[in-house]
Amino acid sequence: QAQLVESGGNSVQAGGSLRLSCASSRYTNARDSMAWFRQAPGKEREGVAAIVVNAYLGTAPTYYADSVKGRFTISRDNAKNTLYLQMNSLKPEDTAMYYCAAVRKGGGTWYDSADYTYWGQGTQVTVSS
């Protein structure tokens, strides 16, 4: 069982930056796709960004929700078993609980939460105007 632990959430003013981290207690194989999701109160969980590994092609492209393109950057350090989300130019609408997810089951899109096997408990990001 993989254990994913997020950290880095905080309260910031609009325009500020935060870096979220997701540490895996299990070896995060470079072949594992990983992603960040978020969920605001009263809203559905939505995909924010993902690193989608295609082991056959040897590629690992990144994908972003339109709402965060150009502001957020997803990255990973396999040696440290850690996934990151650098968030710049934060807006009040970015306020949500942020979750990391790992290991896709296959068959869904990168932003389909049902397609991920392992989840962290979340870290809260609050952006004030």
The reported pLDDT for the residue numbered 20 is 98
The reported pLDDT for the residue numbered 108 is 83
The DSSP secondary structure of the chain, one letter per residue, reads: ---EEEE---EEETT--EEEEEEESS---TTS-EEEEEE-TTS--EEEEEE--BTTTTB--EEE-TTTTTTEEEEEEGGGTEEEEEE-S--GGG-EEEEEEEEE-SSS-TT-GGGEEEE---EEEEEE-
List average pLDDT for each run of 10 residues in the chain, which is 129 residues long. Answer: 89 98 77 93 96 88 97 93 96 98 85 92 97
The reported pLDDT for the residue numbered 31 is 78
The reported pLDDT for the residue numbered 21 is 97
The reported pLDDT for the residue numbered 27 is 55
